[in-house]
Chains A and B, each alone.
Chain A
């Protein structure tokens, strides 16, 4: 079971849900991996407090030109859609930070003057948080593109019964990359106008990707009837409603897992996990 935790809006509680789910699953004896794919601002480690066993640099490919072999035909600049390689007169300029590593320039270069070299763009850390297998990526500051790093975090995931993917906020490329091969997407929202607006965007995104999904309404209190109503109209299952409780916010602000500090949160996370199991099983039957 591969579950991606996502949300349009930031700060709705993705990491809270993802880390607590992983912790509760491990406590129940399930083999579980937690993957923090919010490589721009990963936070899961602050709550799961893993022991990092290995840390390795992760690179992005970009072209390097052998001036001796280059005939200045200009084809590399022509195929490149990102202006990452340009041929100006007798010189070929490379802009590594713009490169998407599609490999096009290498393929079109008849004299074989272009090779691909690796440039460090972040690191991958792997460790253990109790019984939870822990992985996260850290994007190097100043790097614009995170999708390759996200892909590599997912590729490094061990074989476990349950994989929890903590995705970045938003609805664009890094989010798509994080959720794309998940079996189920859990959208975490909060019952505010901003939360609802961004939930709708996230729902559209998941539909475009043709993935099954469910919703968690976090910090529920006044005004949540609209969010619940929206889910009902759209036929999206609400798998959990977590009440607005200052103690949860305070646990978070101390870097403590809410499930550890509050038995009622542990119970609702266990229920959520059971419902997720049910929901994913139904998806498998349908497909």
Chain B
């Protein structure tokens, strides 16, 4: 992940990166990112939720460049050469080898690798006495450089049941940052994935600021605490906004109090509004669809985030 840290051009300020994450899924990250895209002028978008990307449904990107993503390797047993000795099955730690491959002239049944279970370690191929196992790079997905009505966008699609989402996230981020540097755009807005694991870590490390979109439920509070610990672990400043806050004002208050206790900044509240879904059905962000209601709330959250992003630009520069 060493390539995640920006290398700014000499004398130029580094591009700022805002990562929008949530811990819990379905709190409204993508809807908020789409609105930010409409509100910010001159940003680059990076959809880093590579295994369930949705931002393209709102921003309707025109793909300019399509790239294959080769993030890992995979083993494949050539049935013609397998003598069914079983060494591969014995050594595989991922239970990826099954004794149900087609027969050949030597044996009735051969071993077979389940590609969805194979983690690409190559141990089976290394130790196969017959040299019957092919082991090489595979295409794990695709990533795209596109143009949208709100600016350039880099997005991806991890292949179904594929590994290496973290590497693909890094690829998307690096490309988005490069576009921002070349075209003098700022900031890069990252739409992250739920959770706290590998793709999330790849989405936030080295970012200027993290915005967490929380929901006013016990799960929202629980997951916020874990995600806050994660950003603290990586030393990234973090703001919290509560989406659909009026579903439970009491829990919303508890989330904000907890956020303050943890030393996090508050970016505001966004009310529950059916306009979000209506806008989504029409392929728009809520900002482009409505003026009042939650559109006004998102506008005010953006102004807090933008101010913080600009204010913290110097310190981020110093760190680099």
Q: Could you tell me which A residues sit within 8 Å of B by CB distance?
A: 8-12, 15, 38, 40-41, 43, 46, 79, 81-82, 100-104, 107-108, 139, 141-146, 168-176, 180, 190, 192-194, 197-198, 201, 204-205, 208-209, 223, 246, 249-250, 252-255
Query: Are B93 and A101 interface neighbours, CB within 8 A?
Result: yes
Query: Are A10 and B217 interface neighbours, CB within 8 A?
Result: no
Q: In the docked arrangement, what's the CA distance between A107 and B223, Å?
A: 40
Q: In the docked arrangement, what's the CA distance between A47 and B119, Å?
A: 34
Closest Cβ of chain B to A4, distance in Å, is 14
Query: Are A102 and B223 interface neighbours, CB within 8 A?
Result: no
Q: In the docked arrangement, what's the CA distance between A252 and B312, Å?
A: 37
Q: In the docked arrangement, what's the CA distance between A16 and B229, Å?
A: 25
Residue of B nearest to A47 (CB): B218
| Residues of A contacting B25 in the complex (Cβ-Cβ under 8 angstroms) | 9-12, 41, 169
Query: Are A198 and B54 interface neighbours, CB within 8 A?
Result: yes
User: Does B73 sit at the interface, judged by CB under 8 A?
Assistant: yes
Q: In the docked arrangement, what's the CA distance between A143 and B247, Å?
A: 33
Given contacts A10-B25, A41-B196, A253-B248, are A172 and B123 in contact (CB under 8 A)? no
Q: In the docked arrangement, what's the CA distance between A103 and B126, Å?
A: 12
Query: Are A253 and B247 interface neighbours, CB within 8 A?
Result: yes
Q: In the docked arrangement, what's the CA distance between A105 and B286, Å?
A: 53
Query: Are B281 and A193 interface neighbours, CB within 8 A?
Result: yes
Query: Are A145 and B197 interface neighbours, CB within 8 A?
Result: yes
Query: Are A11 and B160 interface neighbours, CB within 8 A?
Result: no
Query: Are A142 and B230 interface neighbours, CB within 8 A?
Result: yes
Q: In the docked arrangement, what's the CA distance between A103 and B93, Å?
A: 8
Residue of B nearest to A256 (CB): B218
- 5 A–B contacts from the bound complex (CB under 8 Å): A41-B226, A79-B123, A107-B91, A168-B195, A254-B251
Query: Are A43 and B121 interface neighbours, CB within 8 A?
Result: no
Q: In the docked arrangement, what's the CA distance between A1 and B222, Å?
A: 30
Query: Are B72 and A81 interface neighbours, CB within 8 A?
Result: yes
Query: Are B194 and A170 interface neighbours, CB within 8 A?
Result: yes
Q: In the docked arrangement, what's the CA distance between A199 and B116, Å?
A: 19
Residue of B nearest to A143 (CB): B197
User: Does B216 sit at the interface, judged by CB under 8 A?
Assistant: yes
Query: Are B248 and A8 interface neighbours, CB within 8 A?
Result: no
- 7 A-B pairs besides A142-B201, A142-B233, A142-B234 with CB distance below 8 A are A10-B25, A81-B73, A82-B121, A103-B93, A168-B195, A193-B283, A204-B160
Q: In the docked arrangement, what's the CA distance between A213 and B113, Å?
A: 23
| Residues of A contacting B86 in the complex (Cβ-Cβ under 8 angstroms) | none
Contact of B52 (CB < 8 Å), options: A8, A79, A173, A253: A8
Given contacts A145-B198, A180-B116, A205-B160, are A172 and B165 in contact (CB under 8 A)? yes
Q: In the docked arrangement, what's the CA distance between A173 and B141, Å?
A: 14
Closest Cβ of chain A to B156, distance in Å, is 12
Interface range on chain B: under 10, 10 to 19, 20 to 34, or 35 or more? Answer: 35 or more
| Residues of A contacting B51 in the complex (Cβ-Cβ under 8 angstroms) | 8, 170-172, 175, 201
Query: Are A173 and B91 interface neighbours, CB within 8 A?
Result: no
Query: Are A171 and B23 interface neighbours, CB within 8 A?
Result: no
Given contacts A81-B120, A81-B121, are A192 and B197 in contact (CB under 8 A)? no
| Residues of B contacting A176 in the complex (Cβ-Cβ under 8 angstroms) | 116-117, 161
Q: In the docked arrangement, what's the CA distance between A243 and B281, Å?
A: 18
Query: Are A205 and B121 interface neighbours, CB within 8 A?
Result: no
| Residues of A contacting B161 in the complex (Cβ-Cβ under 8 angstroms) | 171-172, 176, 205, 208-209
User: Does B131 sit at the interface, judged by CB under 8 A?
Assistant: no
User: Which of B73, B216, B281 gathers the greatest number of chain A CB atoms within 10 Å?
Assistant: B281
Given contacts A103-B93, A107-B127, are A41 and B223 in contact (CB under 8 A)? yes
Query: Are A171 and B52 interface neighbours, CB within 8 A?
Result: yes
| Residues of B contacting A192 in the complex (Cβ-Cβ under 8 angstroms) | 277, 280-281
| Residues of B contacting A81 in the complex (Cβ-Cβ under 8 angstroms) | 72-73, 120-122
User: Does B24 sit at the interface, judged by CB under 8 A?
Assistant: yes
Contact of B247 (CB < 8 Å), options: A107, A204, A249: A249
Q: In the docked arrangement, what's the CA distance between A208 and B30, Å?
A: 27
Query: Are A40 and B196 interface neighbours, CB within 8 A?
Result: yes
Residue of B nearest to A144 (CB): B198
Contact of B162 (CB < 8 Å), options: A108, A169, A172, A246: A172
Q: In the docked arrangement, what's the CA distance between A222 and B197, Å?
A: 34
Closest Cβ of chain B to A147, distance in Å, is 8
- 7 tightest A-B contacts by CB? A10-B25, A11-B26, A102-B121, A253-B248, A40-B195, A144-B198, A43-B219
User: Does B193 sit at the interface, judged by CB under 8 A?
Assistant: yes
Query: Are A208 and B248 interface neighbours, CB within 8 A?
Result: no
Q: In the docked arrangement, what's the CA distance between A12 and B52, Å?
A: 13
A-contact 0/1 string along B88-104, CB 8 Å cutoff: 00010110000000000
Query: Are A43 and B122 interface neighbours, CB within 8 A?
Result: no
Given contacts A41-B222, A194-B30, A253-B248, are A170 and B193 in contact (CB under 8 A)? yes
Q: In the docked arrangement, what's the CA distance between A101 and B121, Å?
A: 9
Residue of B nearest to A75 (CB): B126
Closest Cβ of chain A to B206, distance in Å, is 15
